[in-house]
Amino acid sequence: MRTKEHVKREILAAIDRRADQIVGLGERIRRAPELGFKEVKTARLVEEAFAGLGLAPKTGLALTAVRAEARGSADGPTLALLGELDGLVVSGHSLADPATGAAHACGHNAQIAGLLGAAMGLLDAKAMEALSGRAVFFAVPAEEYGDVEWRADQAQQGRLEFLSGKAELLKLGHFDDVDLAMMIHTTARPEDRKAVVDVSNNGCIVKTVRYIGRAAHAGGAPHDGINALYAANIGLSAINAIRETFRDEDSIRVHPIITHGGSQVNVIPAEVRLETYVRGKTIEAILEASVKVDRALRAGALALGAKVEIATLPGYLPLRNNEAMAKIFKENAVGLVGEAEFASGDHRPGSTDMGDLSHVMPGLHPYMGGARGGHHAADFEIADPVLAYLGPAKALALTAVDLLWDGGTLARDVLRSSKPRMTKEEYLKFQRGLERREAFDGGAPSPVMGR
Ligand SMILES: [Zn+2]
Ligand SMILES: [Zn+2]
């Protein structure tokens, strides 16, 4: 009978034996970035890697997810290890796909390398024979919530409901048999050192906004037009004016972009489209800010006599890392990178759909280093492939061993000590309840109060 330490040592040795392969996979994906729900080539690579390990992957879940599992020698909890497949559009990134603009400027390629490496380590070392329950290896799509018009179009066609990967997978039932979930994100922030666990991440809602004016000859008859771009400008200025009403502790972030600014330059713009997130630390704070943002957007339509359509879509729920899982991860991470290289963070203003999962099951979303530059910036790159790709592989596999060892005692402890904040049904109902479509006519006459 092998001891837990023995099994862990064999996993680490197995991952080290596969180091070149795992680094190669991470680099291959880095050089072939794809956008969310379109990660076809990356998904195929994952499928082949899983099949090569003797697993039986299911593919095409929520369009592009790939899921495989390995059983322990006895019944027990099911732990999902996740890796995100997608890149995002960052102009100026040196490895951006010339056709789509996609780039791995958030290091998700390292998540996939880590996930595949963890599966390799656990299977090569025959660790599952010593574990209980199941390990689910799950490559998931579309964490970066962008490309919104295309996704909304997919939803119209009935190919998606939720516009992020984990939410859609949750809805489709692919997490129904999962008890706890974890993933490791890459970080480039020096203050995160080589591994960090935070307390929480912001959540968000997403808005698509359409200002509708009236086209007219921009030189000959601008007085006949209603300039949707100026309406949008005033809407954006109004959002900037309300920023001082956001409380620091709510960590609100509102960052609109113009996705369509007019048809051509000699025509008064009749249609202008915006997208924005409203992020915040709590659901209440997000919803409160959302009301103000809608009001600001209406102000633009009112000033010009334009119309504005505001669609509010469910985004991500705020993430809270499970403390018991964080403790187990920390022990393993410290073993790998040393106490001095481990950081304990607080709150991060970015958002992730791991927040959604963390509402329905214990979830963990720590970060490990190996990248440099700015996240979502043109200079983001993998600086230390060994740390970026092998670090998460090892930390995921070792944490899985702890959770599923001895009948899955620690996983059962986690489940006993942490009641999920929502059932799956409550989650779906809540997210669907956020969806809202408003049409405001800034040209409508206001009621007369008398003289
Ligand atoms: Zn990102
Ligand atoms: Zn990311």
What is the predicted pLDDT for the residue at 1?
A: 80
Interval between CA 265 and ligand 1 midpoint (Å)? 34
* Beta carbons of 103 and 120 less than 8 angstroms apart: no
Nearest to 195 by CA among 399, 418, 404: 399
Which residues sit with Cβ closer than 5 angstroms to ligand 2, an ion? 106
- Cα–chain center distance at 187: 14
Interval between CA 140 and ligand 1 midpoint (Å)? 14
Interval between CA 393 and ligand 1 midpoint (Å)? 20
Q: How far apart, in whole angstroms, are the C-alpha atoms of residue 170 and residue 61?
A: 11
- Ligand closest to 108 (CA) is 2
Interval between CA 89 and ligand 2 midpoint (Å)? 12
Interval between CA 280 and ligand 1 midpoint (Å)? 16
Interval between CA 29 and ligand 2 midpoint (Å)? 15
- Ligand closest to 109 (CA) is 2
Tens digit of each residue's pLDDT (9 = 90 or more) over 203-251: 999 999 999 999 999 999 999 999 999 999 999 999 999 999 999 999 9
Spans of the chain below 70 pLDDT: none
Interval between CA 145 and ligand 1 midpoint (Å)? 9
- Ligand closest to 146 (CA) is 1
Interval between CA 104 and ligand 1 midpoint (Å)? 9
Q: How far apart, in whole angstroms, are the C-alpha atoms of residue 175 and residue 185?
A: 20
What is the predicted pLDDT for the residue at 400?
A: 98
Interval between CA 233 and ligand 2 midpoint (Å)? 30
Interval between CA 99 and ligand 1 midpoint (Å)? 20
Interval between CA 189 and ligand 1 midpoint (Å)? 13
* Beta carbons of 173 and 428 less than 8 angstroms apart: no
- Cα–chain center distance at 254: 17
Interval between CA 106 and ligand 2 midpoint (Å)? 5
* Beta carbons of 205 and 286 less than 8 angstroms apart: yes
Residues whose CB falls within 8 Å of the CB of residue 92, separated by 6 or more in sequence, listed in order? 378
| pTM as predicted | 0.97
| H/E element, 180 | strand 180-183
Nearest to 346 by CA among 199, 156, 149: 199
Angle between helices 108-124 and 391-404 (to 10 degrees): 50
Beta strands in 194-344, from DSSP E residues, in sequence order: 195-197, 200-212, 253-254, 257-260, 271-280, 307-316, 319-320, 342-344
Q: How far apart, in whole angstroms, are the C-alpha atoms of residue 264 and residue 5?
A: 67
* Beta carbons of 279 and 253 less than 8 angstroms apart: yes
Interval between CA 183 and ligand 2 midpoint (Å)? 11
What is the predicted pLDDT for the residue at 422?
A: 97
Interval between CA 291 and ligand 1 midpoint (Å)? 26
In total, the chain counts a number of residues equal to: 451
- Ligand closest to 375 (CA) is 1
Residues whose CB falls within 8 Å of the CB of residue 85, separated by 6 or more in sequence, listed in order? 34, 36, 39, 42, 43, 46, 64, 65, 108, 112, 139, 140, 141, 142, 165
Interval between CA 445 and ligand 2 midpoint (Å)? 46
Interval between CA 381 and ligand 2 midpoint (Å)? 13
Interval between CA 417 and ligand 1 midpoint (Å)? 30
What is the predicted pLDDT for the residue at 447?
A: 80
* Beta carbons of 67 and 177 less than 8 angstroms apart: no
Tens digit of each residue's pLDDT (9 = 90 or more) over 344-359: 999 999 999 999 999 9
Interval between CA 185 and ligand 2 midpoint (Å)? 7
Interval between CA 376 and ligand 1 midpoint (Å)? 6
